[in-house]
Each structure stands twice: as C-alpha cells, then as structure tokens.
A and B are shown apart, each in its own frame.
Chain A
Amino acid sequence: MKISTRGRYGIRLLIDLAEHASEPHVALASIAERQNISARYLEQVAVILRRAGYIRSVKGASGGYTLARNPSDIVIGDALRELEGDMLIIDPLRPEEHENPLQKCVRRTVFDPLNERIAAVVDRLTLASMIGTVDPDESYMYFI
C-alpha cells in the first residue's frame, strides 16, 4: 500500500520548480542534483507531468522546465493521479464483475470510505499550500 517512486518524485519535481519560480526555467540536472534523484528517472517523470499540462519544457542548450500553471491551481491529488494512474486503495469494480455479498460489504464499508478519506487529504492540498509549510506544528514557514 505505497505511493510509487514516480508519485513521490513527481511531487518533489513540482515543488522544486515552484521554489525556483523566479528563474525563467530550471535545468532537470540541477533539480536532480538538489533532490538527489537520478536525472534519467526524473526525465521520465517530467514527461508525464508535461503531457498532463503541469510543466512546460524550454528547449535549447540552457533549456529546462518551468511550471505551466500557478502553484495555487495545482491540486496535489490531481497531480498524484496523473503520476500514479489513480489514488485508489483497490481496483475499481469492473462493470461486468460480479461480487459476492462478503466482497460487496468489505468494499462498501472499508474500501470506498477509505478512498474518500485519501482523496479528501490530497485534494485539499495545492502545490502553493505545500511549499508554504514544512511542519505546521513548528510554524516553520518557507517564503519564496
């Protein structure tokens, strides 16, 4: 029951771009270095985020990436769904799939509400709110 590396790295890529929003664009290599992630892997993640319209690539020798949207318009749940495929705890029921009563009960009582709770957490968050906070308990704020 894990968020994949792709999901975790994708969010870190978005955060890094948001933190360097004052620069016209950021080279993937420098993100890879700062985040300690392989540049090759980051490139794959960047492709997904670019296709989904979250980031834009800037061509050229000194090229790189920049956010395609305002950080306050990037909902973390949506970005995670692009990266992960979905954020569901269990495969959704296929239309032709038949469930016995036990399966139906477990799905309705456990899995459906759990999916809703997970969605509520990640859909409440935007990239802007995420970079605003490290640990609210310590009221430690990041200002960009």
Chain B
Amino acid sequence: MRISTRGKYSLEALLYLALLPEGSFASTRTISENTGISDGYLEQLFIPLKKAGIIRGIRGAQGGYLPGRPIAEITVGDILRAVEGSLEPVACLSSGTCPAESKCITRHTWTHLYQEISSFVDSMNLADLVKSYDSMAAGGFAI
C-alpha cells in the first residue's frame, strides 16, 4: 500500500519551494540539486502540480517555479491527489461502482481507513511542514 515515488518526490520538491523566501522561485536545475530528484522527473511532476495550481511557473531564461498559492493553503492531500490520483485504499469505494456494495463487510473497514488517511493529509499543509523542518534544523540536522 505504497505512496508512489511521484507522491514522495512531489512532497520533497514542494517542501523545498516552500522553504524559499516568499516570492522567490527556483529553476528545476536548482530544485534538482537540492532535492536529488532529476530535472526530467521534476518537469514531469510539475505538469499535474501546475494544473492543480499548487505551483506556478515563471517563464524565461531566468525563470523557475514557486508555490502557486500561500503555503498554508496547500495541503499534503492536495499535492498527493494531484500526482497520485484518488487516495482511496481500494478502488471500489466510489459509490455505485460495486454491485455488492450494500452487503460488503469489508467496505466499512476500507472506508474507515480512507477517512483516516484523508483527514490526516488534509489537515497538514506546507506551512506545517516548514515549521517541522525549522524545528528539526534547530534540533541539529545540518543543511
């Protein structure tokens, strides 16, 4: 039951962008150097992230990317859904997709699991991640 590399890398790249001083942006090359994620992979991830308004691109030779809205308004759930699709732990949760829906015993368990996952990722935003990063940095992990 894994979050894909797309989800993991997107969170890391977005955390990097969120740590930049407000209004500044970074090229994929710079992001790549700081996250260890390849340029090409970042470009791929940035297509759905841009579409979802999570990041914004600045065109031009000196261009780059920055968060698409205030970082407190970008949740972990927004980022994961943009690159992973639905976060349902089983594909049958969307109502009406399963003929045995009304009598399925496992459905309640999977729904409960989904609610737990959703409520967590929707309650955490990039500003929280920045805070966590700062306190870890203060606690001594060297950057």
Contacts and interface: CB of A to CB of B under 8 A. Distances in A.
Contact of A89 (B2, B88, B105, B110): B2
A2 B106 contact: no
A45 to B, nearest CB: 14
Interface stretch (B20-28, B38-46, B50-58, B113-121): B113-121
Interface size band for A: 35 or more
Chain B interface main SS type: helix
B116 A121 contact: yes
Interface in B36-94: 36, 76, 80, 84, 87-91
Interface stretch (A25-33, A56-64, A111-119): A111-119
A64 B72 CA distance: 56
A101 B136 contact: yes
Interface in B1-36: 1-4, 7-8, 11-12, 15-16, 34-36
A109 B128 contact: yes
A114 B117 CA distance: 7
B3 A111 contact: yes
A87 B2 CA distance: 8
A47 B15 CA distance: 44
Given A2-B90, A111-B3, A114-B117, A101 B84 contact: no
5 contacts: A1-B3, A1-B87, A11-B106, A100-B36, A106-B11
